[in-house]
Chains A and B, each alone.
Chain A
């Protein structure tokens, strides 16, 4: 296609944009159809998710955008979203009558590029074309999308679309030295990559070969050795893959915890966000809800002292006391799962394994999430704003190193938000996860395992699992809190950081907080990457920071580092908590 032709096509855009609308409710579908036609899009509707999927699989290039309801009888909207994202790389917009933040978050973490609440208005649909453009532009170059982000909000003004398109195009043209592997910067259109089973297998094999922490798009691409595949293709697929894994591990946890009650209604039953909002308030004020241990004050201090300095974090670290012993997140198992995932195409969870894995954790009757999960946000935050997110995605190690390297070594702490994903949580757990798109948040919860979470955006869910977690996981946390029977927090989210340092720190932070004087009972890292640190609960109660722990940490760290090396995945985002610093601030008895 010549540049001129492309420009013409783009100039007409978004008129004629091909939308696939999916909603099982006929009335809603009809209304949606009318709205989309009013926007002059080319609309195809279906009330069955399966049909939609088949249509898409048959010819992905038939559509530019998919809009789907969340609540559908034949298939969960989130599942459809995920499949479409993974297989077809099409932008998907979620639609729901329920505007709960946790659901919205879930949509985002599943890869939705937008989440609309019914009843939808015409104005909202007039802007959805931006998601298509963003996709076309974005995958071309990760760094380019940075430029996009820096531009003023393109979609919501609903203003001169052509102007925006031109500007975007111009920027792309100008920005030719971003290491873009694509052929012609002016070629806006790239044929969509079909991630066939074979290709995906190669992809997963490459990841396993590289090891999670080293699985950066460029290397994966090299290993895969596929013609016509660009780093950007791999990068975006990798992102989705990670989300998928994360979500699966959450689900597994959840299933284990809830005994399989994993359907939508389970989270529909969850307390409203408002109830959980207390959590945020609590964490803000330093009070711990459901605190089972004395150090509420400490936590409070922890929260305030450490001044969760996450950029844009809206919620201070949440320390969620883990009441429910039974609900100890099966971190271990999750790790196993992660391991499995990384080693092959994870198709299912071995729930038995999860259950099994749960046991050691439950030994800590008073599972104190605090000890286990720490949100380390501190002064050593990588400067979110300065992090080139796309770079992060591509090569987080170097980016992070640049950002926080010094800090890391000095403070030894990256921001680890360890999400503890316990199955208690309803599917919303995954909402803690990285929001798709421009921000990466990885909640890191250490609770017998960790997932480090680095968020680059304001929404940084952090699941404090027994630990101070920095990040705005409020919703998630709230959810988990409310939904948890016993109250344990629990989400274990294993986001592996490719930087071993981070994990090391996280681990050490965990252990230190967990009252390390006791031995770190179990540190395990899967190939998949999550390192489990099971600390003794009681220790925590006495305080998060124990110099003993620190000492023991030193012993553990090398081991952990080593373990982490296999386990970590890309790290996105910043690190925020410097456990040492936190310790220093919060606990006077830090030195020891």
Chain B
């Protein structure tokens, strides 16, 4: 029992830190609120979908960034997709980097684009690791316990 409580507390803290450190924003809470008995794994499902989409978008972006000269319109368009996904799950830092990227696209700044794209990938990878750990923890504790709402 005690161990369980500890686990819960740990999960709650992990979750809280994700928000505090700016990895996630309010949108993630919206996802959590949509999770209920009829939809018990909603958040994780959406996030998993996000990983899948992201792999595709990032790969496309990688390819597009290889081309010479850079097709900024296409890059912007691809990034728009990725940013949409990120926004939907509340991936705050990732979203910010996406915005930087698009700004560089608009400015037709190739170096800027490439640089920020590395940041985008980095943030994405970091977030993904954290979320995977978080969900794994949650699963261990059991589905009954939902994350504590307090931040």
Interface residues of A (CB under 8 A from B): 24-28, 30-31, 34-35, 37-38, 71, 97, 118-119, 121-122, 263-265, 268-269
25 pairs, CB–CB < 8 Å, chain A vs chain B: A25-B81, A25-B84, A25-B88, A26-B49, A26-B52, A27-B46, A27-B49, A27-B50, A27-B84, A27-B88, A28-B88, A31-B31, A31-B34, A34-B34, A34-B46, A35-B34, A71-B81, A97-B80, A119-B27, A119-B90, A121-B30, A122-B34, A265-B76, A269-B76, A269-B106
> Would A265 and B46 count as touching, CB distance under 8 A?
no
Closest B-chain residue to A264, C-beta based?
B77
Q: CA–CA, A48 to B109, complex, Å?
A: 32
Q: CA–CA, A28 to B42, complex, Å?
A: 13
B interface: dominant SS: helix
> Would A30 and B45 count as touching, CB distance under 8 A?
yes
> Would A38 and B80 count as touching, CB distance under 8 A?
no
A interface: dominant SS: helix
Interface residues of B (CB under 8 A from A): 27, 30-31, 33-34, 39, 42, 45-46, 49-50, 52-53, 73, 76-77, 80-81, 83-85, 87-90, 106
Closest B-chain residue to A72, C-beta based?
B81
The residue in A31, A37, A38, A121 that gathers the most chain B C-beta atoms within 10 A of its C-beta is A31
Q: CA–CA, A30 to B33, complex, Å?
A: 14
B30 contacts across to A, CB distance below 8 A: 119, 121-122
A30 contacts across to B, CB distance below 8 A: 45-46, 49
Closest B-chain residue to A261, C-beta based?
B73
B88 contacts across to A, CB distance below 8 A: 25, 27-28, 31, 118-119
Q: A38-B34, A119-B30 are in contact. Are A28 and B85 (CB under 8 A)?
A: yes
A24 contacts across to B, CB distance below 8 A: 81
Q: CA–CA, A187 to B6, complex, Å?
A: 62
Top 3 nearest A-B pairs (CB, nearest first) are: A265-B73, A27-B85, A34-B34
Q: CA–CA, A100 to B85, complex, Å?
A: 19
A71 contacts across to B, CB distance below 8 A: 77, 80-81, 84
Q: CA–CA, A28 to B91, complex, Å?
A: 13
Minimum Cβ distance to chain B for residue A107 (Å): 17
Q: CA–CA, A35 to B53, complex, Å?
A: 20
Closest A-chain residue to B80, C-beta based?
A71
Q: A31-B46, A119-B27, A269-B106 are in contact. Are A263 and B87 (CB under 8 A)?
A: no
Minimum Cβ distance to chain A for residue B137 (Å): 23
B84 contacts across to A, CB distance below 8 A: 25, 27-28, 71, 97, 118
Q: CA–CA, A26 to B48, complex, Å?
A: 11
Q: CA–CA, A118 to B90, complex, Å?
A: 11
Closest B-chain residue to A28, C-beta based?
B88
Minimum Cβ distance to chain B for residue A22 (Å): 14
Closest A-chain residue to B102, C-beta based?
A268
Minimum Cβ distance to chain B for residue A126 (Å): 13
> Would B85 and A265 count as touching, CB distance under 8 A?
no
Q: CA–CA, A26 to B46, complex, Å?
A: 9
Q: A97-B80, A97-B84, A119-B88 are in contact. Are A26 and B53 (CB under 8 A)?
A: yes
Q: CA–CA, A25 to B82, complex, Å?
A: 9
Minimum Cβ distance to chain B for residue A38 (Å): 6
> Would A118 and B39 count as touching, CB distance under 8 A?
no
Minimum Cβ distance to chain B for residue A88 (Å): 26
B90 contacts across to A, CB distance below 8 A: 119
A38 contacts across to B, CB distance below 8 A: 34
Closest B-chain residue to A121, C-beta based?
B30
